Each structure stands twice: as structure tokens, then as C-alpha cells.
């Protein structure tokens, strides 16, 4: 895939990974430390624009379920922005690529595929806490998608 070395290439992070990083009860696998390490290495962290809506929706769902307070939810949103992830606007080529990725993975919706499409476009790694997505990508022959297990 890449002419860019892994140490220099960007890292695409999905919403599930961000939720695990900012809500300690969702974590347990050193996810926040991984973000810190990436920043210390000077890695560019990126996500498609829908990432913000997905993370805030997940925080709201967790608050609605009573697992965190509204105040903790608002603090988590502040922590989200402290992750220093660059949000990339959606454009026609990215939308077409996401549509194609959803088809390739047999998905009825394209949300997850935006992360794959962006990673492919940027010649980046994709890190996800969604093991189903990681496994589906691996089954499709993709080597640059990593789950939280590595």
C-alpha cells in the first residue's frame, strides 16, 4: 500500500477507539496511553468528519444508560478534543470510496467504511476498537487495519 514508512504515516482512528480512550470504564487496554505515545512520536492522528458525531453519540448513549453523569459526558467531550485528532472533511471521492468499501465488506451501511477509505487515501494505518471491523478488513486482505489487540 504505502511508500510512506509506518513511522511517518498518519494514523486513522475510529470512534470506538476514541470512546475507549476518553471513558476509562470503556477502556482497560491502555488506549489513552496509545494516543499519548502516538503524539509523542509526532504521528498525525486523523479521522473523517463523521467521527465527532459518532463519538458524541456514543457518549450520550452511555450517559442515557446512566453509566456516566451528564457532567462526566461533557467532560468526555472536552477530553475528545484533547486527543488532538485532525478531522477530515467528507468529499465526493471519499464518499465514493466508502461506498465501495462497504460493498467490499458486505455492509449495508457505510459508517465504518469511511475510516477504511480515509486510511487508504492517506496511506495510513487504521486503528479501531471494533474487532468485527478489524476482522472483516483482514478477511478482505487488508494488512493496515489494527484492532486494540494489536
Q: Quote the pLDDT of residue 82.
A: 95
Classify domain 11-147 at the CATH topology level.
Rossmann fold (3.40.50)
Which residues make Cβ contacts (< 8 Å) with residue 42, sequence separation at least 6?
A: none
Query: Could you say which residues of the chain have pLDDT below 50?
Result: 1-4, 150
Confidence at residue 17, expressed as pLDDT on a 0 to 100 scale: 95
H/E element, 110 = none
**Per-residue model confidence (pLDDT) at position 89:** 97
Q: What pLDDT is stored for residue 10 in this prediction?
A: 96
Left if phi > 0, otherwise alpha if psi is -120 to 50, otherwise beta: which for 30?
Answer: left
Closest-CA residue to 144 (of 128, 130, 48): 128
pLDDT recorded at residue 5: 54
pLDDT of residue 1: 45
Write down the pTM of the prediction: 0.90
The full 3-state SS of 45-109, as one line of letters, equals: EEEECHHHHHHHHHHHHHHHCCCCCHHHHHHHHHHHHHCCCEEECCCHHHHHHHHHHHHHHCCCC
Cα–Cα distance for residue pair 123/136, rounded to 1 Å: 19
Residue-wise pLDDT tens digits, 26-53: 555 689 899 999 999 999 999 999 999 9
Q: What is the pLDDT of residue 149?
A: 63
Interatomic CA distance for residues 145 and 132, integer angstroms: 11
Contacts of 103 (CB under 8 A, 6+ apart): none
The domain segmentation of the chain, as residue ranges, is 11-147
Amino acid at each position: 500500500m504505502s511508500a510512506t514508512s509506518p513511522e511517518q504515516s498518519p494514523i486513522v482512528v475510529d470512534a470506538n477507539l476514541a470512546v475507549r480512550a476518553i471513558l476509562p470504564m470503556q477502556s482497560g487496554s491502555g488506549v489513552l496511553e496509545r494516543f499519548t505515545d502516538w503524539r509523542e512520536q509526532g504521528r498525525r492522528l486523523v479521522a473523517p468528519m463523521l467521527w465527532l458525531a459518532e463519538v458524541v453519540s456514543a457518549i450520550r448513549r452511555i450517559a442515557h444508560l446512566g453509566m456516566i453523569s451528564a457532567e462526566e459526558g461533557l467532560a468526555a467531550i472536552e477530553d475528545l478534543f484533547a486527543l488532538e485528532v485532525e478531522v477530515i472533511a467528507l468529499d465526493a471521492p471519499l464518499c465514493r470510496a466508502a461506498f465501495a468499501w462497504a460493498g467490499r465488506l458486505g455492509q449495508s451501511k457505510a459508517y465504518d467504511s469511511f475510516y477504511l477509505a480515509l486510511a487508504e487515501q492517506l496511506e495510513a494505518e487504521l486503528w479501531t476498537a471494533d474487532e468485527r471491523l478489524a476482522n472483516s478488513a483482514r478477511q478482505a486482505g487488508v494488512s493496515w487495519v489494527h484492532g486494540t489487540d494489536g
